[in-house]
Amino acid sequence: MSTKLNIKNNEVGVFAIGGLGEIGKNTYGIQYQDEIILIDAGIKFPEDDLLGVDYVIPDYSFIVDNIDRIKGLFITHGHEDHIGGIPFLLKQANIPIYAGPLALALIRGKLEEHGLLRDATLYEINENSVIKFRKTSVSFFNTTHSIPEPLGVVVQTPPGKIVATGDFKFDFTPVGKPADLHRMAQLGDEGVLLLLSDSTNAEIPTFSHSEKVVGQSILKIFEKIEGRIIFASFASNIFRLQQAVEAAVKTGRKVVVFGRSMEKAIVNGLELGYIKAPKGTFIEPHEVNQYPGNEILIMCTGSQGEPMAALSRIANGMHRQVTLQPGDTVVFSSNAIPGNTHGVNQLINSISEAGAKVIYGKMNNIHTSGHGGQQEQKLMLRLIKPKYFMPVHGEYRMLKIHAGLAQDTGVPKENCFIMENGDVLALTKDTARPAGHFNAQDTYVDGSGIGDIGSAVLRDRHELSDDGVVLAVATVDFKSKLILAGPDLLSRGFIYMRGSGDLIRSSQRVLFNAIRKALNAENANESTVAKAMTDSLRPFLYKETERNPIIIPMVLTPDEEK
């Protein structure tokens, strides 16, 4: 049965499947009657407590249930938290996708990896595109972010315009195209019913630094370094990569690239004209040792301490072509994402121990956020002048602060809506009301499994990581009511077997008595004996060790043919 929004025929419904109360997983929807416009389809990287989980994506059930109403998925820009979910979405619902040239190149790469490219419907758009449907239309405007071609999205509906900023900052000296302030102001003058605006840096009271400032810092740093430079950054920050390449050219260095995502970013950047360099600037990886150190810039992935990324392998001596040597300088042109701080610190320590110098941190001005602080958020609100406001892309405290900023700029408190994923906001040209909720839970991606990791599995993983596992094995004959072998114990991550003889022998006695008692029951079977083993061993082990390992009972029976 189809999941329908609880909205009236004259209302437009606005909702998030991901992106509210969290950083990442951005997936927003706007429905008017039988037309649904989707904006972005991102992933979220797992926190430390999601053991073994690779990505978190939204539950796409709503989209699948409403596939006939969906007109298209419109992409604001090519970052993972806005396009990373597309392959997983298209496996369930093959909907048309509209994106700028760079985002489209990145999406094509993802779909090719998943074997989905042939069947995908992809359309290239830019800031001048207007996509018209029967009752709604979608247009765009340039913003500024840390990746080329960031677009704000304008959805025209009969009740009014709904504007989604995407990720933005106001950079008045950008490396790429400037934000279209005139278009934003024009939208504000025409009248905007609802604004959905990026809340990521709502806690930061100032403007974000310009990307040009970072470029100047990179050049100054490169000019002072005599040995090899290893430059680690987000592969998607193509403006940063361009500035590093420019600094390399100005300081007489050849550029070599390591890491699959970095290689793809450079190729896409060169093809689309975002990265420019004289012929011969880039050299092949096998040529890296043919030049003196002061003529080499190595650009690589791994700025977040990822164990298998190029920089980690270089630091740990596991890279085939590059090893760290005294005189090398590693430049981290990024900040650690929350949750990655420990891994980044470990990597910096490894690099320092190998004798290389490390440059990182705010004091060096080698990174700036792509998201606007409070002053930029207020500027966006002043330009767009929305009647109603719904902060998006942020944890609850960020959404709350952003709603407060909207009130400071003149949006009435009752017109600001802090929503959760799955909440529906229903609007007419004069009214706005919360209109119920649909299921929008997280879905975990673990290897090739999508959605097969639930709370029970995660709980088991936590218990395994905390207290380990104990395997209890016994062979019993249900006919004669005898224990033929065991009980024996095997421990992984709980105790050191060789040094715990007394505990093991006491545990075996506890198990022996429990099994014998269970065997004497009238309806004894493998299940009742296994339960008795677990029920007796768990409290005993906790009493002795104050630990709660996972207990796996195994009840074996003799081969009846022998």
Binding residues for Zn(2+): 77, 79, 81-82, 145, 167, 393
State the sign of the Cα–Cα–Cα–Cα dihedral 275, 278, 281, 284.
positive
Residue length, the chain?
562
Provide the residue type at 247 as one letter: A
497 to 44, 462, 490: CA distances (angstroms): 40, 22, 8
Annotated binding-site residue numbers for substrate: 235-237, 367-371
Annotated binding-site residue numbers: 52, 54, 77, 79, 81-82, 145, 167, 235-237, 367-371, 393, 446
Torsion angle of the four alpha carbons 365, 398, 78, 334, in this order, in degrees rounded to the nearest 10: 20
Tokens 């906790």 sit on residue = 542
State the number of CA atoms in the 13 A half-sphere of 40 facing the CB.
Answer: 35
Cα 28 from Cα 154, distance rounded (Å): 13
Annotated binding-site residue numbers for Ca(2+): 52, 54, 446
Q: Which residues are within 8 A (CB) of 560 and not within 5 positions of it... i.e. 6 or more apart? A: none
Give a three-class secondary structure readout of 48-117.
CCCCCCCEEEECCHHHHHCHHHEEEEECCCCCHHHHCCHHHHHCCCCCCEEECHHHHHHHHHHHHHCCCH
Catalytic residue among 371, 402, 423, 467: 371
198 is catalytic: yes
State the number of CA atoms in the 13 A half-sphere of 274 facing the CB.
Answer: 23
Strand order, beta sheet including 482-492: 482-492, 469-477, 550-556
Question: How far, rounded to the nearest angstrom, does the alpha carbon of residue 136 sit from its chain's CA centroid?
Answer: 31
Tokens 């950054």 sit on residue = 233
Q: Which residues are within 8 A (CB) of 355 and not within 5 positions of it... i.e. 6 or more apart? A: 324, 325, 326, 327, 328
Q: Which residues are within 8 A (CB) of 544 and not within 5 positions of it... i.e. 6 or more apart? A: 503, 506
Catalytic residue among 40, 198, 328, 467: 198
Cβ–Cβ contacts within 10 Å for residue 523, how many? Answer: 6
Cβ–Cβ contacts within 10 Å for residue 109, how many? Answer: 14
Q: Which residues are within 8 A (CB) of 118 and not within 5 positions of it... i.e. 6 or more apart? A: none
Cβ–Cβ contacts within 10 Å for residue 364, how many? Answer: 16
Residue ranges of alpha helices (H) inside 295-432 are 310-315, 341-353, 374-384, 396-408
286 is catalytic: no
Residues with a known catalytic role: 198, 371
